[in-house]
Structure 1
Amino acid sequence: MKILVTIPKRLSEKVAENFVRERQAWLLKKIDELKNNQIYPRKILTAKDYQKEKRRAQKIIKERVSYLGRLYGFEFKKISIRSQRTRWGSCSQAGNLNFNYKLIYLPDKIIDYVIVHELCHLDEFNHSRRFWFLVSEIIPDYRILRRELKEITL
């Protein structure tokens, strides 16, 4: 593995080397954390590969959302699959559901948790006690899955 250190022009290489040397243990720990929390392939996709992965995600996620929506009586308007930097999913007040295409790299139980989380927002558009009660009715161990999801680097 290579680490690229970028420094301002006015800083000497010696200062940068000392910085890295002094913080080596911390840097190695952070690298391990990133490796352990990254369960999807972290690579730069070509536009063609991204479109292919997005189509695959649309098929997988739309089927799962439709199934869970029917099973638990949720009605939504539209499902969109996107590349998002900070969110696995979201729900608009208009009833549209958005999901990150990278969900397809996660375990099925976590995919279902994210989908159910967004479906429950159709009935309760906040994170109130009632919202979490709705989630728990469908996924009793949601707290564990939520914790696991928070540990995954997006």
Structure 2
Amino acid sequence: MERYELIRSRRKTLALEITGDGRVLVRSPMRCSQARIDAFVTAHAAWIEEHLALQRRRAADRPPAPTAAQIEAMKAKAREVLPPKIAYWSQRMGVRPTGFKVTTARKRYGSCSGKDSLCFSCFLMACPEEAIELVVVHELCHIREKNHGPGFYALLERWLPDWRERKGSLSMD
């Protein structure tokens, strides 16, 4: 039987999860017996092995994490490349962001706060020029439309009619 981490909570069912780093998590109701949990894991052994193998393949295909120096270089490039793009598109779209920040976010390339401050991941600098421009325009659209409703997409379509094609060149590794 595969080693696993057990997480008990106020749930009603047993569940399995394989994390991105290859750990096996079993989520269990508080009063579930250890014998029932072990039987559940044993019954799903093939599924666990299949998904652990998939995670190992994904890990092998993933490029190595950037060094601190590489991250600093990407941040410096972002501070150089993004302000002119933000200024150009802000003026063209008639919006005014209240601030600009570069982070090391791994899950999203950009965000716009409720107070219209823009935030961009330094990892955006690894994307093609047209994708960088898409993220800038996308976040500037959020100054007018705070959600991803029809009004937001109409605004994005107005400024970047090819946004769908550009979106294809975005990837978070």
TM-score, length-scaled by structure 1: 0.70
Q: Quote the residue 1:115 is aligned against.
A: 136
Per-residue CA deviations over 1:84-140 (Å, capped at 9, x if unaligned) read 021100000111000001111111111111111100000000011010000000110
Q: Quote the residue 1:44 is aligned against.
A: 66
Where in structure 2 are there 5+ consecutive unaligned residues? Answer: 1-20, 25-45
Q: Secondary structure at the match of 2:136?
A: helix
Q: Quote the residue 2:75 is aligned against.
A: 54
Q: Does 1:153 align with 2:172?
A: yes
Per-residue CA deviations over 1:63-99 (Å, capped at 9, x if unaligned) read 2111111122121110100000211000001110000
- Structure with greater strand share of residues: 2
Q: Quote the residue 2:155 is aligned against.
A: 134
TM-score, length-scaled by structure 2: 0.63
In 1, Cα distance between equivalents of 2:135 and 2:97: 15
- Contact 1:76–1:95 (CA<8 Å) still a contact in 2? yes
Cα distance change, pair 66–83 in 1 and its aligned pair in 2 (3 A): same
Where in structure 1 are there 5+ consecutive unaligned residues? Answer: 9-18, 36-40
Q: Higher RCO, 1 or 2 (CA under 8 Å, sep at least 6)?
A: 1
Per-residue CA deviations over 1:1-40 (Å, capped at 9, x if unaligned) read xxxx9789xxxxxxxxxx8xx86xx75xx55xx56xxxxx
Q: Quote the residue 2:85 is aligned against.
A: 64
Same amino acid, percent of matched pairs: 27
Cα distance change, pair 108–42 in 1 and its aligned pair in 2 (3 A): farther
- Contact 2:128–2:169 (CA<8 Å) still a contact in 1? no
State the one-letter code of the partner of 1:121.
H
> Mapping of 1:24-43 within 5 angstroms?
27=54, 31=58, 42-43=64-65
Cα distance change, pair 42–72 in 1 and its aligned pair in 2 (3 A): farther
Q: Quote the residue 2:5 is aligned against.
A: none
Question: How many residues of Structure 1 are paired with residues of Structure 2 in the alignment?
Answer: 130
In 2, Cα distance between equivalents of 1:79 and 1:7: 37
Q: Let me know the Cα RMSD of the aligned residues.
A: 3.2
Q: Secondary structure at the match of 1:85?
A: coil
Cα distance change, pair 44–129 in 1 and its aligned pair in 2 (3 A): same
Runs of 4 or more off by more than 6 Å in structure 1?
Answer: 5-8
- Contact 1:61–1:104 (CA<8 Å) still a contact in 2? no
Q: Which has the larger radius of gyration?
A: 2
Q: 2:106 aligns with which of 85, 92, 106?
A: 85
